[in-house]
């Protein structure tokens, strides 16, 4: 008789171990009181997960924009340096004289230095 009882107990334990899987598969776990008590917590965790994913996408978007802006700043800085060097070259006295001669403006360089005019008040 003892052998028969022990077989029943082990078979009952095996069916209990398969019971959670069976409950999930047939949907009866959704009506379980323990599960219904955990629904607010599960919804809270789902909300936190959605916020986390959204925050990740937002951070990646900001990082991409920052990288693009830094590349644009480097390009603009190089363009600024190039423009400044061209301006410095064109504003040299010899280059200005060449441009005046090429355009035919009829201007000539002053050979003597400028004089200071002093006007005395009465």
pLDDT at 1: 47
Answer yes or no: is pLDDT of 63 > 60: yes
User: Does 120 have pLDDT greater than 50?
Assistant: yes
Give per-residue burial for 14-32: e unless 16+ CB within 10 Å, then b. Answer: eeeeeeeeeeeeeeeeeee
pLDDT band at 17 (very low <50, low <70, confident <90, very high): low
Given this model, what pLDDT does residue 109 score?
83
Q: What is the pLDDT at residue 122?
A: 67
Q: Is 97 helix (H, G, I), strand (E, B) or coil?
A: helix
The pTM of the full predicted model, rounded to 2 decimals, is 0.52
Mean pLDDT of the chain, nearest integer? 84
Q: Is residue 14's pLDDT more than 90?
A: no
């Amino acid at each position: 008789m003892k052998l028969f009882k022990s077989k029943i107990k082990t078979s009952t334990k095996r069916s209990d171990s398969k019971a959670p899987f069976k409950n999930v598969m047939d949907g009866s776990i959704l009506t379980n009181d323990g599960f219904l008590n955990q629904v607010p917590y599960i919804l809270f965790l789902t909300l936190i997960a959605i916020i986390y994913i959204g925050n990740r996408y937002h951070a990646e978007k900001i990082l991409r924009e920052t990288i693009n802006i830094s590349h644009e700043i480097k390009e603009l800085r190089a363009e600024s340096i190039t423009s400044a060097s061209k301006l410095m070259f064109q504003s040299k006295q010899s280059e200005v004289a060449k441009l005046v001669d090429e355009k035919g403006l009829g201007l000539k360089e002053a050979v003597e230095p400028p004089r200071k005019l002093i006007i005395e008040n009465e």
